A and B are shown apart, each in its own frame.
Chain A
Amino acid sequence: MGKKVVLIEDERNIIEAISFILTRDGWEVKTHSNGHDAVEAVRERRPDLVILDVMLPGKSGFDILQEIRDDDELSDTPVLMLTARGQEKDREMAERAGASRFMTKPFANAEVLEAVRDLVRP
């Protein structure tokens, strides 16, 4: 039984590519593409890891991260933040909001794999 990851991202082809490489790597991938009910999806799924895009329709990734960290049952879940802006400001915001790791688009597939493997040790 593979480790579970929830991928919250709104770009269809990025979802497809990341899901593919993670599935090949033995992960059980569930995707979600809007901000509104992302936290519910995480709550329902109880993943070992959340990959979270900063810019989402409906709600900012920072707000979603905050809600995950404020939730007693989810707060320990590692969260890998994805953003299209490599600016220091976003990195700081992600760190303050409690992101476990931060990755800037465009990224290499290998970087994603390395990050998720680092964040969830078997």
Chain B
Amino acid sequence: MAESSMIGSRIRERRVMSGLKQSDLARRAGISPSYLNLIEHNRRRIGGKTLIRLAEVLDVAPALLSEGAEATLVSALREAAARTETGGGPGAEADRAEEFAGRFPGWARLLAELSHQREELEGTVKALTDRLTHDPQLAASLHEVISTVTAIRSTASILADTKSLEPEWQSRFHRNLNEDSQRLAEGAEALMHYLEAAPDAQADIKSPQDELHAFLEENAFHFPALEGAGGAARIGAVIERAPKLETRTARHLARTVLEQYVRDARQLPIEALEEAVAEHGAEPDAIAAATGLDMPTVFRRMAMTAERVSGPVGLVICDGTGALLLRKPALGFAMPRAAAACALWPLFQLLAQPGAPLRLRLRQGETRVLALTATDSAAPAMFDRPALLRPHMLLLPDPGEAAGFVREVGVTCQVCPIEGCAARREPSLLEGGF
């Protein structure tokens, strides 16, 4: 049955709805009742003036009669059919979409809705693909959604494409479609919920490193509970009470940092640090010399204490690969959260010359700081393994011109405006260089 042949049925439906007799409608439209009767039973094709007059009398737009009230549904079905036949082969009977919509309006609406949902989800899936590798929970949710979408797509296309589908199969696939659409709705909801619950407004997926740093920032990198005798025994309680440490990995990372904190606090108790700063100023080398400690220990104590003791102090620690293990931004000096940092940071020079600490003024955008670097080893050198270096970079307020030359550095290439930089790894998003 071609689409236009349904016009009669729609005219009849409209007439009955407006309570008109066949003879009345015929008279007012200027045609004979028997002709209208033939039209209403889809036995005469009409168009042009007759259609327009009938539409006027029935007070509807002519298009509503010629295309049907379900025009949007029908076009949605056609779109669905067009989308699902990308691979060639026997297509859906797009020309019979109206008949399908007319006979099974509920199923047709479900199919159109699912197809629409599928399209939206496919978009979401594309946008999220690169996150898959970073988050197992997200990967599992998405996998569930994609599996369901696959089942729906395949099932819907069977329903749409298979000529003379046996009633048993038809009801079976309808049931599957219904089941899967429910699963899809639940899966999509779970996914939305998960993404909304993500750590911050940018809906970034949190890595354990992010959790660790959220925890450290919340405590301003300072843990009075771990100072003094018996600090090690209290680490567990500090971690227990930290809602920001959600994953086991993050708690493990926090334990490593806090164990170091306790060792440092034992070597340089808070009172001793206060005394040393009072005597030597915020000068790590002088404090190290006075206390007999190595410079990285002094760096960490200065950075991870109350601001009233040593003023605003930033700190970055990396490992031999240049991965940032700990970052405490301060004084407006920005540090990347996930991406690799700027190769011009003096921190990385220590990987080539671990024994040569640096003292250098840095300019990052409008920010100026004084950077001091020194290295310790996470493990000493052995014959079967080199020392595992841990370069540290302490950031102090810029003392001004007197301290000499300023090196211009960035945060990470993607957001760095420095032009013609020899250290650039990738183009900046800021330049519109793409």
Contact = CB atoms under 8 A, between A and B. Distances in A.
A105 B146 contact: yes
B351 to A, nearest CB: 29
Nearest to B155: A17
Nearest to A115: B87
Given A16-B172, A20-B158, A108 B86 contact: yes
A20 B155 CA distance: 9
B380 interface: no
A122 B84 CA distance: 27
B163 to A, nearest CB: 11
A13 B84 contact: no
A34 to B, nearest CB: 15
A55 B154 CA distance: 19
Contact of A106 (B129, B149, B161): B149
B88 A110 contact: yes
A109 B161 contact: yes
A55 B118 CA distance: 21
Interface string B161-180: 11000000100110010011
B150 A105 contact: yes
Contacts of A109: 84, 87, 89, 154, 157-158, 161
B263 to A, nearest CB: 40
Given A20-B169, A55-B143, A108-B87, A13 B161 contact: no
B158 A105 contact: no
A14 B143 contact: no
A13 B180 contact: yes
A14 B151 CA distance: 5
Nearest to B83: A108
Interface in A1-45: 11, 13-14, 16-18, 20-21, 24
B132 A13 contact: no
A55 B139 CA distance: 12
B180 A106 contact: no
Classify the secondary structure of B's interface with A.
Answer: helix
Interface string B116-141: 00100010000001001100000000
A59 interface: no
Given A24-B162, A87-B129, A109-B157, A11 B151 contact: yes
Interface string B378-398: 000000000000000000000
Contacts of B179: 13
Interface in A74-121: 84-87, 89, 105-111, 113-114
Classify the secondary structure of A's interface with B.
Answer: helix
Interface in B178-196: 179-180
A72 B46 CA distance: 70
B58 to A, nearest CB: 42
Interface range on chain B: under 10, 10 to 19, 20 to 34, or 35 or more? 20 to 34
A105 B133 CA distance: 17
B260 interface: no
B132 A106 contact: no
Given A13-B179, A13-B180, A106 B146 contact: yes
B10 interface: no
B147 interface: yes
Contacts of B173: 16-17, 20
Contacts of B169: 20
Interface in B362-379: none
Interface string A61-73: 0000000000000
B217 interface: no
B328 interface: no
Contacts of B86: 108, 110-111
B90 interface: yes
A108 B132 contact: no
Nearest 5 CB-CB pairings of A with B: A110-B89, A111-B87, A110-B87, A17-B154, A13-B151
Interface of B: 84-90, 118, 122, 129, 132-133, 142-143, 146-147, 149-151, 153-155, 157-158, 161-162, 169, 172-173, 176, 179-180
Interface of A: 11, 13-14, 16-18, 20-21, 24, 55, 84-87, 89, 105-111, 113-114
